[in-house]
């Protein structure tokens, strides 16, 4: 059952990621990107990386909400819903992305992957945190809370006067 859920989420994540470039408005692209990241976060939860999964979900929700607030405040079209193209130089972009995909796929298939040595750690989240942050983990957690508080305060201060300032 977990394998089926993993593949369904993988296909949904790739489909939503591709939709970011297929839709014709910033708002729809934002929600497609959010859906893609939520699928990736759910996949992390499926492979027992609970901290990273929850972190991806919470960070992406906050990021997309802040993006939506700024989209409503500063874009010329209402909430980014007017049609627009998200891709410039379509032929060049398709050529470059196709060549890059081919090179990466060839690399994945051609490289001799090493065999696993040893057993996975009992708590993979703790091991990952230790290997990335080392003894600075507590500092980074406090900074994360400060950044979250700053984002919330920014949104609160930005919405007090409204989109058009005090003149409206």
1-57 pLDDT, tens digit per residue, is 889 999 999 999 999 999 988 887 777 888 899 999 999 999 999 988 888 888 889
Q: Is residue 106 part of a domain?
A: no
Q: Is residue 132 part of a domain?
A: yes
Q: Is residue 156 part of a domain?
A: yes
Count the domains in the chain.
1
Residue 60's pLDDT band, with cuts at 50, 70 and 90, is confident
Q: Which residue has the higher pLDDT, 118 or 87?
A: 118
Query: In the prediction, which pLDDT does 67 show?
Result: 81
Render pLDDT for 62-117 as a digit per residue (tens, 0 to 9). 888 888 777 777 776 665 666 776 667 889 988 999 999 999 999 999 999 888 88
Query: In the prediction, which pLDDT does 165 show?
Result: 57
Q: Is residue 49 part of a domain?
A: yes
Q: Are 129 and 140 in contact (CB under 8 A)?
A: no
Whole-angstrom Cα distance, residue 88 to residue 103?
23
Q: Is residue 56 part of a domain?
A: yes
Give yes or no for residue 132 having a pLDDT over 60: yes
Q: Is residue 151 part of a domain?
A: yes
Whole-angstrom Cα distance, residue 18 to residue 97?
12
- What is the extent of the structural domain holding 144? 2-87+122-167
Query: In the prediction, which pLDDT does 160 show?
Result: 59
3-state secondary structure the chain: CHHHHHHHHHHHHHHHHHHHHHCCCHHHHHHHHHHHHHHHHHHHHHCCCHHHHHHHHHHHHHHHHHHHHHHHHHCCCHHHCCCCCCCCCHHHHHHHHHHHHHHHHHHHHHCCCCCCCCCCCCCHHHHHHHHHHHHHHHHHHHHHHHHHHHHHHHHHHHHHCCCCHHHC
Q: Is residue 37 part of a domain?
A: yes
Q: Is residue 97 part of a domain?
A: no
Query: In the prediction, which pLDDT does 16 show?
Result: 95
Tokens 């989240």 identify what position?
Answer: 125
Query: In the prediction, which pLDDT does 39 show?
Result: 95
This prediction has a pTM of 0.57
Query: In the prediction, which pLDDT does 137 show?
Result: 74
């Amino acid at each position: 059952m977990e394998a089926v859920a993993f593949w369904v989420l993988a296909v949904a994540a790739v489909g939503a990621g591709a939709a970011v470039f297929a839709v014709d408005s910033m708002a729809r692209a934002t929600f497609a990107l959010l859906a893609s990241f939520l699928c990736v976060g759910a996949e992390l939860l499926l492979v027992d990386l609970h901290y990273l999964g929850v972190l991806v979900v919470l960070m992406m929700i906050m990021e997309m909400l802040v993006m939506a607030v700024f989209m409503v405040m500063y874009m010329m079209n209402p909430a980014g819903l007017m049609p627009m193209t998200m891709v410039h130089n379509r032929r060049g972009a398709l050529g470059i992305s196709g060549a890059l995909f081919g090179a990466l796929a060839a690399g994945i298939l051609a490289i001799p992957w090493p065999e696993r040595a040893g057993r996975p750690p009992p708590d993979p989240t703790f091991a990952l945190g230790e290997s990335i942050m080392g003894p600075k983990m507590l500092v980074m957690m406090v900074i994360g809370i400060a950044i979250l508080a700053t984002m919330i305060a920014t949104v609160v201060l930005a919405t007090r006067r409204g989109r058009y300032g005090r003149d409206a």
